[in-house]
Amino acid sequence: MSTSRVIGACVMGWILTASGAIAGTPAVVATYAPRCEQSPQQRLERSELVDAATGAELRLTRRSNGALQTSLTWSDLDVRKVVQSNGDFSLRLAGRHDILVMERTGERLRVMRNGQTAVLLLNQSDEEGLDQVQQVLAGSRAMRAFRSLRSQLTAESLASAPGVSIDLVDVILGILHGDPGVFDRRDPRAAGRFSRVSLARDASCFPEYESEVTAAWDDFARCCDDVKWFPGLQELCAMTWLLKVESSWFHFIACSSFPIRATES
């Protein structure tokens, strides 16, 4: 396994690079610029918004079976992600005449594109599976368009309820694509992402979420340090971290009472 793919160097310090640049019009920015600075909990409790920098639409809805669906739309790019309470998810990323589908079920991640399918085992080192996944991802225009757009989204959008889940899509694509900088700026203590500010309603929900996400990051950092000399195991640390963070996000949404639209399964 090449060093460029080793996430053992997954500790912070690299800068995420993404191709392309997307700029929103001044009218869009003026229309959707926040009127006042919000607390981390207030930002997280937004279920629908239009990104001020790009005009991309982010939305969180609840399916009739209890699953949560996040969506991101911009130009011809359409992202749909359905998350279950245990952290399992299905993802459809479509754009630029390219469709990429991912499904996490238990200890397996299935990646599908252009009639090709690859399966990555998540409970053991699986370099062969990772090689196959990277072959499926190679040349994906939808993936490139998404990662370019994500790099232009505002911090406010990424801190919203749908934004947090969409941001994790970028993380998993970075892991699979061998991007060592994908964890940059994801430390929950960095840049004041959490400030121990809670609203009166659902006062126990946000502090619990904050504690779980911070603990998951600490476990991830320790795991990476413990296995840094063993290629292939760093991806396991990252996938375990993703599962914990996704589950914590889901349980925060379930615990809170901010409005979420219903959608058909």
* The pLDDT value given to residue 10: 40
Q: Do residues 247 and 19 touch, judged by C-beta distance below 8 A?
A: no
Q: What is the pLDDT of residues 234-246, one digit of tens each?
A: 888 999 999 999 9
DSSP class per residue in 45-76: T--EEE-TTT--EEEEEEETTS-EEEEEEETT
Q: Do residues 223 and 117 touch, judged by C-beta distance below 8 A?
A: no
User: What does the buried/exposed string (b/e) look like for 157-190 if buried means 16 or more CB atoms within 10 Å of the residue's CB?
Assistant: bbbbbbbbbbbbbbbbbbbbbbbbbbbbebbbee
Tokens of 134: 């990277």
Strands 116-121 and 108-113: antiparallel
- Tell me the three state secondary structure of residue 92: strand
Tens digit of each residue's pLDDT, the chain (265 residues): 444 443 443 433 332 333 333 333 333 333 334 445 667 788 788 999 999 999 999 999 999 999 999 999 999 999 999 999 988 999 999 999 999 999 999 999 999 999 999 999 998 889 999 999 999 999 999 999 999 999 999 999 999 999 999 999 999 999 998 887 888 778 887 655 554 334 434 456 899 999 999 999 999 999 999 998 887 788 889 999 999 999 999 999 999 888 899 987 5
* The pLDDT value given to residue 121: 94
CA distance 226 to 217: 14
* The pLDDT value given to residue 117: 98
Place of tokens 């609203």: 199
Q: Any idea what DSSP says for residue 192?
A: G
* Helix residue spans in the chain (DSSP H): 26-32, 40-44, 127-137, 141-150, 155-158, 161-177, 205-226, 233-255
* The pLDDT value given to residue 178: 82
Q: Do residues 236 and 107 touch, judged by C-beta distance below 8 A?
A: no
Strand partners, 83: 68, 89
